[in-house]
Chain A
């Protein structure tokens, strides 16, 4: 017996060890995510990106664990990011290695964080800097970083992480083909005879992506394009339209800027003719399920921009629209973080009844927008006259840019006889991926960027997010379909709404009372000053008793008011504090006592019933 026991217990310990190891290995991925928005689960898009990784990727997650003690919000968020990163690691089949690093001040880890170019946030004077960023590198030593995880961008956390991993796993630059009817590259201006520089948007795209210009008169598209960018396409041949159509149906992504009236073109402005300068890919657009009405131009009474008139005054131009946050889709990664987009003579995108595509509006006008005749708009020289064309009665919100996805038919019955391509004709797709924007003026420099000469260097400083919108869209479309499918996720931060409500209420009351008291105080002080000066006018240095008493009483009143003011300010937090105290009392003393008594009596009644 003795012998068997000396063996049994160690055996049991080994069994314990073995079972735990086994369950760790066996059940690694079996889990239920009970969180409301499945925040710890990767979406299908992320998983498919992970499954396509060939070479190992190293991720370095920097978080200042020690320096951030007591900063609940940031710590919670860091925790969330870390959990999600671990999720990526475990779902990557060993392709991703995650390293957790705490860059303490003056450590090698901090130098590393700086080498990668991460941003340190400061929590205040004398506090150590806080790092919360990610650096990743692949087998080719390409590096990508997220300088700082901003808790306010939480809904795009998964998108950002998946994008970083996607870029590391597929280091080929995005290849963008450009077809345009505008002279984006600059060149000689027929009006002035001077050489115009290239548009900033063009330079920006050229810097970020592998850009290939496609001639409008060409009959086919170059091979291997990731994204086709159409900017005010005009006079395209049937063969070209067919090539674009088939490109879209084959899963090619298109970003199209179309305009019924591109007013920034000096020649068009001279002719003053609408329609003479309109884009023309309507045949394609209607196959995608939408229509951009050639006769209409958007006039927005709420978002019209102020412009300087020729006489020097300032007036609102209803056709020059400054779009703002409520008009942006805050769940789409291309628009969610934009502040403003400026443009002119936007077209209005309407949904065709027979549309089979899924349409997501990205940019919308305000609710105080109506459409005017584009012909009349083109003839108008004085912005004031636009008010006359604005029809209040038909004011509504209009779609100015949309994302089209899902299934769409071909715009062509069959392959045109003259088409060069040898590929089979596709008549239908279920994975269309197109963004259509109904304005091209927004791409010109004057609507979004200032350029200044700084010691011989041209410095572009944007004042609107038009450029960011274009690059977001190309980035988004240029990634693979899996990446596009990752939409924004719910947020994780959940504040005490009750407390916020109390603060708002208390502040409102406080402001009212404070104002009243401050008025009283000012009055009292004024009266006091009057009394004191009138005392001096009589030439008497000594005040009589009455005057002295009056001054004293005003002094007292002043002190009293000041005290009340302090009291009111103190009251601001008092409601919250007292709520806290009540909750503490209930949860620590009252509830436990009541509950234990309840259990006691329940049990007694059970026993009595059992005895009866």
Chain B
């Protein structure tokens, strides 16, 4: 675990050595502000909650997180540093975990830095801060799931662009599986239990119930399982590529 800690620090510092983290945070903060105020009509609704803010998170992450994750393995492979990394006395899963945690920490930092919005809503009225806390936790967990997919796709290919596109597509499928459009297509010919199962794979449904203020165990578990499974898949891919 100590090794993971060292690698985590290296990765985390790596984000801030280049403009990547700054650009990511800036874009994240500005876009979430624009979405909240202009598309979510935060001010005009006159309701002291942060629903318009959190409602756009699945869509924000859809593009921002793959953009952040695409370089994780692709770059290492392209620049050849992966060989160096593999000769070090660390296991692949330690590296994968460290890379994931570092990027997840940056996402967490970006979320924390949206606190001016929280101050704003507390200035304007008396929001239920419990709901807001639950939504933040939910949002961070969801971003982890996006990230795990992005890292897996990055392991798959040398090209960052392909990694980006693949992860957007897969994340989009996961977002979409709970939306009315998809469910309607399945309704009628699939048994309800299967339709429900498809719906339960959606990031949207799990995130929505959390953004209402309820931390349900199955929602938390869903995101944790997603993260675990996708990280495990990326581990397999790396091992396989190493063997090739």
- A contact residues vs B (CB 8 Å cutoff): 1, 5, 8-9, 12, 15-17, 19-21, 23-24, 26-28, 30-36, 39-40, 72-73, 76, 79, 83, 493-499, 580, 583-584, 586-589, 591-593, 595-596, 599-600, 603
- B contact residues vs A (CB 8 Å cutoff): 16, 21-22, 25-26, 29-30, 33-34, 36-37, 43-49, 51, 109, 113, 116-117, 120, 123-131, 133-134, 197, 200-201, 212-218, 221-222, 225-226, 229, 232-233, 236, 240, 243
- With A20-B200, A23-B225, A40-B213 as contacts: A497 and B124 at CB distance below 8 Å: yes
Q: Indicate if the CB atoms of B47 and A493 lie closer than 8 Å.
A: yes
Q: Indicate if the CB atoms of A494 and B116 lie closer than 8 Å.
A: no
A-B contact pairs, 28 of them (CB 8 A): A1-B240, A12-B229, A15-B229, A16-B225, A23-B221, A27-B216, A27-B217, A31-B216, A32-B214, A33-B214, A34-B213, A35-B212, A36-B129, A72-B46, A73-B47, A494-B126, A495-B48, A496-B46, A496-B125, A497-B125, A580-B43, A580-B44, A583-B37, A584-B43, A592-B113, A596-B29, A599-B21, A603-B16
- CA A34 to CA B34, docked complex, whole Å: 27
CB B76 to nearest CB in A, in angstroms, measures 21
- CA A66 to CA B218, docked complex, whole Å: 30
Q: Which of the residues B16, B214, B236 comes within 8 Å of A8, measured between beta carbons?
A: B236
Chain B neighbourhood of A79, CB < 8 A: 212
Across the two chains, which residue of chain B brings its CB closest to A31? Answer: B216
Q: Indicate if the CB atoms of B213 and A587 lie closer than 8 Å.
A: no
CB B37 to nearest CB in A, in angstroms, measures 5
Q: Indicate if the CB atoms of A24 and B218 lie closer than 8 Å.
A: yes
Q: Indicate if the CB atoms of A494 and B128 lie closer than 8 Å.
A: yes
- CA A588 to CA B197, docked complex, whole Å: 38
Instruction: Please name the 9 residue pairs, one residue from A and one from B, whose CB atoms are nearest each other, closest first.
Output: A27-B217, A592-B29, A588-B33, A30-B217, A34-B130, A23-B221, A35-B213, A494-B48, A591-B116
Q: Indicate if the CB atoms of A587 and B120 lie closer than 8 Å.
A: yes
CB B106 to nearest CB in A, in angstroms, measures 10
Across the two chains, which residue of chain A brings its CB closest to B21? Answer: A599
Across the two chains, which residue of chain A brings its CB closest to B45? Answer: A72
Q: Indicate if the CB atoms of B29 and A35 lie closer than 8 Å.
A: no
- CA A592 to CA B45, docked complex, whole Å: 23
- CA A17 to CA B177, docked complex, whole Å: 14
Q: Indicate if the CB atoms of B22 and A599 lie closer than 8 Å.
A: yes
- CA A499 to CA B120, docked complex, whole Å: 12
Q: Indicate if the CB atoms of A34 and B131 lie closer than 8 Å.
A: yes
- CA A16 to CA B131, docked complex, whole Å: 29
- CA A494 to CA B51, docked complex, whole Å: 12
Q: Indicate if the CB atoms of B225 and A498 lie closer than 8 Å.
A: no
Q: Indicate if the CB atoms of A12 and B213 lie closer than 8 Å.
A: no
- With A32-B215, A494-B127, A591-B116 as contacts: A20 and B33 at CB distance below 8 Å: no
- With A8-B236, A40-B213 as contacts: A19 and B120 at CB distance below 8 Å: no
Q: Indicate if the CB atoms of A583 and B47 lie closer than 8 Å.
A: no
Chain B neighbourhood of A494, CB < 8 A: 47-49, 125-128
Q: Indicate if the CB atoms of B215 and A592 lie closer than 8 Å.
A: no
- CA A1 to CA B200, docked complex, whole Å: 33
Q: Indicate if the CB atoms of B240 and A34 lie closer than 8 Å.
A: no
Q: Indicate if the CB atoms of A495 and B133 lie closer than 8 Å.
A: no
The residue among A16, A72, A83, A494 with the most chain B CB atoms within 10 A of its own CB is: A494
- CA A599 to CA B130, docked complex, whole Å: 27
- With A33-B214, A587-B120 as contacts: A495 and B125 at CB distance below 8 Å: yes
Across the two chains, which residue of chain A brings its CB closest to B15? Answer: A603
Q: Which of the residues A30, A583, A600 comes within 8 Å of B22, measured between beta carbons?
A: A600
Q: Which of the residues B125, B130, B229 comes within 8 Å of A498, measured between beta carbons?
A: B125
Q: Indicate if the CB atoms of A34 and B26 lie closer than 8 Å.
A: no
Across the two chains, which residue of chain B brings its CB closest to A2? Answer: B240
Chain B neighbourhood of A16, CB < 8 A: 225-226, 229
- CA A34 to CA B219, docked complex, whole Å: 14
Chain A neighbourhood of B29, CB < 8 A: 591-592, 595-596
Q: Indicate if the CB atoms of B47 and A584 lie closer than 8 Å.
A: no
Q: Indicate if the CB atoms of A20 and B201 lie closer than 8 Å.
A: yes
Across the two chains, which residue of chain B brings its CB closest to A497? Answer: B125
CB B207 to nearest CB in A, in angstroms, measures 15
Q: Indicate if the CB atoms of A593 and B22 lie closer than 8 Å.
A: no
Q: Indicate if the CB atoms of A28 and B48 lie closer than 8 Å.
A: no
Q: Which of the residues B33, B212, B213 comes within 8 Å of A592, measured between beta carbons?
A: B33
The residue among B21, B36, B221 with the most chain A CB atoms within 10 A of its own CB is: B221
Across the two chains, which residue of chain A brings its CB closest to B130? Answer: A34
Q: Which of the residues A5, A12, A15, A17 comes within 8 Å of B240, measured between beta carbons?
A: A5
Across the two chains, which residue of chain B brings its CB closest to A590? Answer: B116
Chain B neighbourhood of A588, CB < 8 A: 30, 33-34, 37
- With A1-B243, A494-B125, A589-B30 as contacts: A596 and B217 at CB distance below 8 Å: no
Q: Indicate if the CB atoms of A495 and B47 lie closer than 8 Å.
A: yes
Across the two chains, which residue of chain A brings its CB closest to B128? Answer: A36
- CA A17 to CA B22, docked complex, whole Å: 37
